[in-house]
Amino acid sequence: MKRISTRFITQGAVIAATYVVLTFVSNLLGLASGAVQLRISEALTVLPYFTPAAIPGLFIGCLLSNLLTGSAAWDVIIGSAATLIGAVFSRLLRKNKWLVPVPPILANALIIPFVLRFVYDAAGTVPFFMLTVGAGEIICCGVLGLPLLRLLESRGGVLFRQ
């Protein structure tokens, strides 16, 4: 059995904490939930490109964010699962950095609309929410996330040495 290193745990914890803080910033701006979601923290979904520790880090960060911002129980479970799915597939696509943001965009655009419609009984249709959540994810994961990936990559991935 492979041992989990202190570095792995620390990287995951820092990613989780950063996700929570950035979600709180988005929440203060009224952007973290609803039909249009612009969670700045979703830019971090590119981090599985650098380290597998980002997978549990993003999952725990999303779980804590949803709990601490007062999300419904099903949203905490399903929303965090969507983030986990996106993170796992981002890691699998790391050989092509341009594809890394695609899994979290798709996972959230396909899953979260059902949470909005059936958990929160939000006014609107699932296809409408797929468009709005998808657009927010493209902005956060693609427009913010890819430059973050490039910036960290230009630094040689120093923060994520194994």
pTM over 0.85: yes
All structural domains of the chain, each given as residue ranges with its CATH number in brackets, are: 6-155 (1.10.1760)
Q: 3-state DSSP: the chain helix, strand, coil percent, rounded to 5?
A: 75, 0, 25
Residue 57 CB neighbours (<10 A): 27
| Calpha distance 48→145 (Å, rounded) | 12
Q: Work out whether the CA dihedral 112, 49, 23, 39 comes out positive or negative.
A: negative
pLDDT digits 0-9 by tens, 13-38: 999 999 999 999 998 998 877 777 89
Residue 162's pLDDT band, with cuts at 50, 70 and 90, is: low
Residue 91's pLDDT band, with cuts at 50, 70 and 90, is: very high
All residues at 6 or more sequence positions from 105 whose CB lies less than 8 Å from its CB, including other chains: 86, 134, 137, 138, 141, 142
